[in-house]
Amino acid sequence: QVQLVESGGGLVQAGGSLRLSCAASERFTALNRMGWYRQAPGKQRELVALIFSGGTTTYADSVKGRFTISRDSAKNMVYLQMNSLKPEDTGVYYCNARPRVFGRDDYWGQGTQVTVSS
């Protein structure tokens, strides 16, 4: 089974930065896209950023201009650079991968906690 392991979460003051990492056990060639989702307390999980197989990226409006998703295909790693963090960015961040095989369930990591203090 494909495994995704997140790291890099922690506590940071508003205006600070964090860099999240996701290590995948599967080759990126077997994945249609990689991304990051987050879930704040009392809220549903929401999309943060995606990077597709061709390198195209997309971001939630709330993080545009502040977050950057990138990948290192040779290492099967995906990153999320988070700058100018706000308290509303607080939540559990999950790495996500979508298989190229249509209809197969997405893969999810266990999540890493990000807490931004005001």
pLDDT number for residue 1: 75
Q: Above 90 in pLDDT, residue 83?
A: yes
CB distance 45 to 94 below 8 Å: yes
DSSP string covering 1-27, please?
---EEEE--EEEETT--EEEEEEESS-
pLDDT confidence tier of residue 32, bands split at 50, 70 and 90: confident
Pure H helices in 17-118: none
**Pairwise CA distance, residues 25 & 21, whole Å:** 13
pLDDT number for residue 64: 98
pLDDT confidence tier of residue 91, bands split at 50, 70 and 90: very high
Q: Above 90 in pLDDT, residue 27?
A: no
